[in-house]
Chains A and B, each alone.
Chain A
Amino acid sequence: DVKVTQSSRYLVKRTGEKVFLECVQDMDHENMFWYRQDPGLGLRLIYFSYDVKMKEKGDIPEGYSVSREKKERFSLILESASTNQTSMYLCASSPGQGVHGYTFGSGTRLTVV
């Protein structure tokens, strides 16, 4: 019944490594989003995409990039991981061209050491 799948539940990476976080949805949703969740800060938007090959910066894009080569897959890339990127990363998707509630993935807890 899982509709938004994040490839890893826990990851530990070293400072300076390139990190890929994968998200796949099977609901044929147009819109996909990456957020990071930190205590006391809620969910902050990193990047989002409304269509294949399309991407837009969110509120905190620095140090991140994304790729959306297929409609169902949205990847978050940490070009050179740093300790301040230790966080919970949540992927979400939503349907259509208007605004709708999200379906979230179960999250990836990334620790950068």
Chain B
Amino acid sequence: GENVEQHPSTLSVQEGDSAVIKCTYSDSASNYFPWYKQELGKRPQLIIDIRSNVGEKKDQRIAVTLNKTAKHFSLHITETQPEDSAVYFCAASLGSARQLTFGSGTQLTVLP
């Protein structure tokens, strides 16, 4: 089955700096890569996703890049704000499967 590894497990940045979270996946047939944000005590929410036919996608201050050759994808957050503090999860789907395999999560702390 699919295996998704996520790094780092914790990340602290100063407000206004950029944050980057990286994930690698094991199966070259993976074709959908979403990112979720989970604030303390709340449900995970989809913040951005990318499919395997696209190399990069942006939405305001967040972007996701995909390198299919290296089998890794990354979340980039620019101009970080305290409200970006949360746990972020990457995920990947395998082929035609509808279920997602998740990474272990990154606790992002934005220091004011």
Q: In the complex the two chains form, is B32's CB within 8 Å of A99's CB?
A: yes
Closest to A96 in B: B98
B89: chain A residues at CB < 8 Å are 42-43
Interface residues of B (CB under 8 A from A): 1, 6, 9, 31-32, 34, 36, 42-46, 49, 89, 93, 96-105
Q: In the complex the two chains form, is B45's CB within 8 Å of A104's CB?
A: yes
**19 A-B contacts (beta carbon < 8 Å):** A31-B98, A42-B103, A43-B89, A43-B102, A45-B99, A50-B98, A59-B101, A97-B98, A98-B98, A99-B32, A99-B96, A100-B32, A101-B49, A102-B36, A102-B44, A102-B100, A104-B36, A105-B43, A107-B43
CA distance A101 to B89 in the complex (A): 12
Closest to A35 in B: B102
CA distance A94 to B91 in the complex (A): 14
CA distance A102 to B36 in the complex (A): 9
